[in-house]
A and B are shown apart, each in its own frame.
Chain A
Amino acid sequence: MKNFLAIKRNVAYASILLIGFNLGCTDLGETVYDQVPQDQYGNTEGQLNTLIGPLYNGLGGYFAAFELLNCVTDEELAPTRGGDWGEPEWKFMMEHTWPTNFYGFDNMWNFIYSNIAKVNQKITNPGFQSPEAQAELRTLRAFYHYLALDNFGNVLIADENAGDTPVQSTRKEVYDYVEKELLAALPNLSTNVRAKYSRMSKYVAHMILAKLYLNAEVYTGTPQWANAIAQCDSIIQSGQFVIATDFLSTFSVNNENSQEIILSTPFDKSKRTGLYLQMSTLHYLHQQTYDLGSAPWNGYCTYAEFYDTFEDDDVRKQMWLTGQIYSSSGEALFDDTQPAILTKEIPSFKMPAGPDARLAGYRSVKYQVERGATFDMSNDFVIFRISDVYLMRGEAHQRLGHLGEAMDDVNAVRTKRGVDGFSTMTLDDILAERGRELAWEYHRRQDLIRFGKFEDAWGFKPVTQDYLRLFPIPQSQIALNPNLTQNFGYPQ
């Protein structure tokens, strides 16, 4: 009996022990230490600022999204240099035979819609309900929609009216939406361009509208030249922006104070990395020219025909690296046993290995290469600038038959660049002028399409069909989103 009692007592102790642990140890909630649940942040103005800032970090993805796709234009290509740069994308971008599952399209779509989602996530935050904050966020969101409609055409409008699953809209509907959003935002946007450097100021909204109207005929079938002129006027007449006397200063390492820039996305070699254009374009030996931390990749160059549109006196011609490659101490360098001389001509798209293949094509140093740069550069990447506005207004005037005003605007840029103004001017002259002024600034595809030249043959590219004016909706998005159908001309 005593034994039995002892057992009972032991069982009882054990049971108490078990129950005690069960009560204390079945909580499966998570405590976060180095991040914060999203509903517990954004309560102070300082916290709100740290939420807005990264939206502009996201805008920095603009460079990476466009860098690749600019190889579909007549100003940039990456030829196959022996075994180097033999990936299929460089060829299919060049000859406009891209597949719908090309990662370059994924990158562009992801850049646009992940950023739209992040804006949407902030726009309903109680801390951002002031008219100014709403206007800035709506402008940023409209900018991404503008990029989507320009690249992909028939896309999703994602805002608070779209519900949980945005449906695909026509290019015209997206055009109307972007126009409406920007016009609504304009009154509450800041005109302080220094305080809003690299952010959505009033002039950025004007600029997006100007681009929208300038390309309205492409987007909707109905031209809006006068509206384009009006938007350009708003920017130019504000007097806030000036065409720089020193052309390359707009792209220098410390270009954040340039008065030409309407919108840029700031980079820093260590604090905001991601701009490495010099790595993609420079020859291996340029490591010694600029004392770079590692040898560049020797990829992008320009077509000889494009380079030939630059007159010798044109200061913009200095953006190209040509001829002999020197070390930083001035010594002429050799590639294998042959003098390292960059050649204008690219003998064929696919070149056999050797110095000739490596040295083919002129390279861009429009963005100043910092001596001793390791990988990332500190130049801010320019999205919109004032000389573009003059050229846009000039073009719109020309198309409306205001030839005098047109020539004034175009020559206002030319005379700053060390070349004589035009005395007579055609639309083709304006396209060429835009090419010289804006080379490798990622406006070229839009310009070629607007001028009806995107289907033309150039370099190694044959004549192509006009459905290619729109990029395909990325295959991965179509597969996942039943609300999306493929653009005309592409395999459904």
Chain B
Amino acid sequence: MLKFYHIFKSMLCLLILLSPGWTLAQERTITGKVMSADDNMQLPGANILVKGSSTGTVTDSDGQFSLAIGDNTTLVVSFVGYVSQEVVITNQTNVTISLVPDATSLAEVVVVGYGTVQKKDLTGSVTNLSQKDFNAGINPNPLQAIQGKVAGLNITQPSGDPNQAPTVRLRGYTSLAGGSDPLYVVDGVIGVPINSISPSDIDKIDVLKDASASAIYGSRAANGVIMITTKRGKDGRPTISFNNYIGMESISKRLDLLNADEYRAEVTRIKGAASLSDGLKFPTDANGNGYSTDWMKQITRTGYTNNHELALAGGTSQLSYRGSLNYMKREGIVKNTDFERITGRINVDQKALNDKLQIQYNLAVTRTNSNLTNDDVINRAILFLPTLPVHNADGSYYEVPGSFDLYNPVAMQQNFKKPVATTLLVGAINAKYEVAKGLTLGVNGALQSEQSRNQEAYNVNTKAYLGMLGQVSQSYSQANNKLLELTAQYKTNFGASNNLTVLGGYSYQGFVNDGFSAMNNIGDPSLADVDLYHLYGYNNLGAYQGTLIRGQSNYVSSYKNTSALISFFGRATVNLTDKYNITATVRRDGSTKFGANNKWGTFPSLAAGWTLSNEGFLSGGRTLNYLKLRVGWGQTGNAEGISPYRSLLLYGTPPGGSTSLSYYDPTTGQFLTGVDITQNANPNLKWEILSQTNIGLDFELFDGKVTGTLEVYDKRTKDMLYNYTVPLDGKNYFTSTQLANVGEMSNKGIELSMGGDVISSDNFRWNTRVVGSVFKNMVEKLSSGDYQSGEILYNNFNGRGLGLITASQLREGHPMGEFYIPHFRGYDENGNIQYETADGGVTTDYASAKKFEKGSGIPKATVSWINSFTYKHFDFSFQLRGVFGNKIINNLRSNLTLSGSILENNMLRDIDQYPANYSIPGLSDQWLESGSFVRLDNWQLGYNIPVGGNAIKNARVYVAGNNLFVITAYKGVDPELQVKGDLGANYATPNSIGMDYSNVYPKTRSFQLGVNLTF
């Protein structure tokens, strides 16, 4: 019976839709078009209402509408994110209505975890960006597209390597070993790799910055949550978008190395002309002339980027879709390196059961193919002597035998391959069903499957790869996870303008990782001339001799681990009148990875908002139109750095086939694989807890012309994870360190984002925005009871004979990244570096030098200045980004000015500024430089071609570019360096912060030419 009723109702609806004749009672029909005033794009889905009635319509996908009206009607035109407009219709039959974007954007819907809120009701710190805010230029990664756009979100791209992901740090550095990257949630799917997403598929990015906003994600939210919403289809005629660009990249700045003639001259000056008679380092051709090679030029090129995207969107009110296909290939400027990505995405939305049931289907496939760089090639290109030829007369590569530092970089580049291919599949279904008025049940299920193949081959016929006897390997790994979430939300209005929303939910995410690898090598250098590298590379591992001759235990290896995260969460939001908003959230997370004594953790938050401008004492002002105060507190967790099983006492053989447990069996005379305790057990292992207080002010000035947000935060990490040193007393601990929750770290900061239309006339508009943040980090505590961090020395200062010299040490009461180094007091007559001692004297002994705090590698302030201009059909935008207050140790310079070692490697042109007998490098503030810079990050000049007719809706051409210039006093190549702050590959010391080393993939300057077409 019920079924018939539904069918009947559906048919009735259809009849109504198909029967315009039913409105014959009205007098006439007006047609029109609704546009956006800022970019002249049609606005589909805008509401048109006859004022004072319930009659109205909605614009179609072209922004067109048609409505029957009476005489002297006033239409109210509204669209989310735009200022509503009233249009008086006298005798027109066709109108074009331009809606001005709502500068306050208060009507915007902001995505928060497991739901959305209107921006005006926000209590937490959330920055929302949409496609129009994205950076111009070549941005393979969504993070690059929002670099500089969010106050407090510091995105660093330290090199021009097309395969290097940017480093993202939100509001400082909160962890050492717990993981420092934000949590990415893409269309409700938690933990999608961010670089798998094509920026052009993204509709919105919401950055949840404070604990009030992010605590709903519990033990994974401490580093902030970045919510990404991809584009979806809309009701209306299909649109086809075709977006293409090509780009060109070259090195933005080169190291100022000696050329061959200069090198010979400097050698003569420093070591005497006799040194030039060394035929190995100063060979001559058949005519007796020396060689001259620019090794950096030899290994680099101009890189070209191609990006093509096709997207198709459309649908009906019941079913809409968007499908897109994106292809990008970006060549690195170092030869043989590139990045290629193909993404396919289908988003389908279905409504059923009187729109009570809403289902979203998302399917995304990303395939990336990368050819990775060998960092050492860049390093050797800097060091290799310019007086050497690439090849010998017989065509073989020129090498300098017996030299410790000199390896032919071209030989290394041409005899090395390292492709990586990754396929990521993300499929998700998200269904919501309104079972009763205000009560919605939801289920969200997702499957993520990532498969990677790494291949590597090193030719033994190359001096640099002889030590490893050549090497060929392949490894396959899979990372799969399943997500299931159930939610129930109840929303009700009470009183005149109050509402209450309560959300409860359950989440399960299970992870399975496994993989295997196989490796082989040539086995013996005498077999080098068989030249299997060129025959097979890594494609026939079994053909190599290594397994027969050397019998290593690490030729094959495999691993598998699983983990699960189970959560219960809830949120209550109360909005009272237009003045007060209160949000409370709680999440209870349980993880298999935590120790037996701490399986579950609870993460609460509470925040309130007060719209002061709606109070009598502030309303009606002309200067200050809007003012809202937000205060929030919450606790979030961080545990991504804990790998499975870290809390357990296990017997094992290290995966990866380490020989560290193999033992000699005297009976058989063989080495066998043993089993032993692999780690200290820690049944108390748990998440780090980050407590955060956030105070924010949202404001609008001068009739909404200027909008902004000012925020202050105070964060404190407790139970900070690190591999702490434990007492080795022969009883309790088997290895010298244990992953445990001990330390504390704090971050305090201020963020400001403000701007608006400086000029806004009919033809010309200039919008400008300043986004800035300052923060201060402090390591508060590093020991407790059995645990002590010990001296965590990091930021290695590299140089001949300087194995263990470090520029930084983590110390309680000092910030992370702080340089703690001696003061330089000139050279003595023997060219020895003199350091200042504690009593103010000088010493040449590094160990006796006094150390000083000399600033930090972490910037104090980051500011972006974002500008966009439109003039008729032209638009122009640029973004300047400045980073201030950080210091850099120019380690590259210290090694490339060492006169005494000039015969060992090439040097900088500046070498003549250093004593000729300077031969022992040393760490001091001599190499310390300011790392502040201002960069023209990106710019774009576009022209919207006026198109008539129906075929083409929008046509646009543009030129753009990245990194046009950098203003800096820094003498090195580029002051934007790696500032990760988390632990390095050894899991023992932090990654370097503010150290300029020799193997940095050069940064690039790019130019781009693009065209966008929408049909």
- A residues whose Cβ falls under 8 Å from a Cβ of B: 2, 6-7, 10-11, 14, 17-18, 21-22, 25-26, 28-38, 41-42, 47, 49-51, 53-58, 80-89, 91-92, 101, 103, 106, 109-110, 113-114, 116-118, 120-121, 156, 158, 162, 164-166, 194-199, 256, 266, 268-273, 284-285, 287-288, 291, 293-295, 297-298, 333-334, 336-337, 350, 352-354, 372, 374-375, 476-477, 479-481, 483
Contacts and interface: CB of A to CB of B under 8 A. Distances in A.
A30 B901 CA distance: 55
A437 B226 CA distance: 68
Interface in B521-575: 524-526, 550-553, 558-564, 566
Contacts of B900: 82-83, 352-354
B847 A88 contact: yes
Given A353-B920, A476-B725, A114 B558 contact: no
Interface in B933-985: none
Given A38-B651, A372-B524, A480 B726 contact: yes
A289 B351 CA distance: 79
Contacts of B800: 82-84, 86
A61 to B, nearest CB: 10
B674 interface: yes
Contact of A476 (B467, B733, B788): B788
Contact of A164 (B563, B662, B732, B845): B732
A110 to B, nearest CB: 5
Contact of B919 (A87, A293, A353): A353
A267 to B, nearest CB: 9
Given A10-B433, A33-B560, 10 more contacts: A26-B590, A32-B561, A35-B653, A37-B648, A83-B920, A86-B921, A117-B732, A165-B732, A166-B729, A372-B525
A374 B552 CA distance: 13
A158 B901 contact: no
Contacts of A35: 645, 650-653, 678
A11 B435 contact: yes
Contacts of A54: 661, 663, 674-676
B401 A83 contact: no
Given A21-B508, A41-B651, A287-B401, A28 B671 contact: no
Contact of A56 (B433, B514, B648, B664): B664
A158 B666 contact: no
A330 B754 CA distance: 75
Given A85-B801, A294-B467, A36 B650 contact: yes
A34 B559 contact: yes
Contacts of A156: 729-730
Majority SS at the chain B contact face: loop
A296 to B, nearest CB: 8
B804 interface: yes
A63 to B, nearest CB: 14
A203 to B, nearest CB: 14
16 contacts: A2-B2, A30-B648, A53-B665, A54-B661, A86-B846, A87-B802, A256-B669, A270-B553, A271-B671, A293-B467, A337-B274, A353-B919, A353-B920, A374-B468, A480-B786, A481-B727
Query: Lowest 5 CB-CB distances: which A-B pairs, in order?
Result: A158-B730, A53-B663, A35-B652, A353-B900, A353-B919
A50 B652 CA distance: 10
Which of B488, B800, B805 has the most chain A CB atoms closer than 10 A to its own CB? Answer: B800
Interface string B840-867: 0000011100000000000000000000
Given A28-B590, A483-B729, A87 B561 contact: no
Nearest to A6: B2
B90 interface: no
B677 interface: yes
Given A47-B675, A57-B661, A287 B731 contact: no
Contact of B803 (A87, A336, A481): A87
A106 B566 CA distance: 41
Contacts, number: 304
A353 to B, nearest CB: 3
A82 to B, nearest CB: 5
B644 interface: yes
Contact of A53 (B590, B674, B726): B674
B242 interface: no
A270 B786 contact: no
A10 B435 contact: yes
B898 to A, nearest CB: 6
Contacts of B804: 87, 89, 103
A298 B403 CA distance: 11
Contacts of A477: 727-728
Given A21-B506, A33-B562, A47-B675, A272 B662 contact: yes
B674 A50 contact: yes
Question: By CB atoms of chain A within 10 A, which of B593, B649, B920 has the most?
Answer: B920
Nearest to B558: A34
Which of A41, A273, A353: most chain B Cβ within 10 A?
Answer: A353
A251 B272 CA distance: 44
Contact of B731 (A7, A120, A295): A120
Contacts of A284: 402-404
A80 B484 CA distance: 62
Interface residues of B, number: 116
A7 B664 contact: no
Contact of B666 (A91, A109, A199, A374): A199
A48 to B, nearest CB: 10
A486 to B, nearest CB: 15
Contact of B729 (A41, A113, A194, A374): A113
B277 interface: yes
A83 B918 CA distance: 9
A196 B666 contact: yes
B650 A109 contact: no
A482 B1000 CA distance: 45
A194 B655 CA distance: 32
B590 A83 contact: no
A268 B671 contact: yes
Contacts of B917: 352
A194 B665 CA distance: 11
Nearest to A90: B801
A308 to B, nearest CB: 28
B801 A80 contact: yes
Contacts of A55: 676
A312 to B, nearest CB: 30
Nearest to B667: A195
B436 A7 contact: yes
B652 A34 contact: yes
Contacts of B734: 114, 117-118, 121
Interface in B622-673: 644-645, 648-653, 655, 659-667, 669, 671-673
Contacts of A295: 402-404
B402 A36 contact: no
B280, B561, B731, B783: residue with the most chain A Cβ atoms closer than 10 Å: B731
B762 interface: no
Nearest to B653: A35
B560 A57 contact: no
A28 B564 contact: yes
B805 A50 contact: no
Contacts of A17: 443, 486
B953 to A, nearest CB: 42
Nearest to B652: A35
Contact of A18 (B486, B550, B564, B845): B486
B648 A26 contact: no
Contacts of A158: 729-731
A291 B525 contact: yes
B591 interface: yes
B830 interface: yes
B275 interface: yes
A361 B467 CA distance: 26
The listed residue with most A CB atoms (<10 A of its CB), out of B673, B786, B790, is B790
Interface string B771-806: 000000000000100111011000000011111110
Nearest to A484: B727
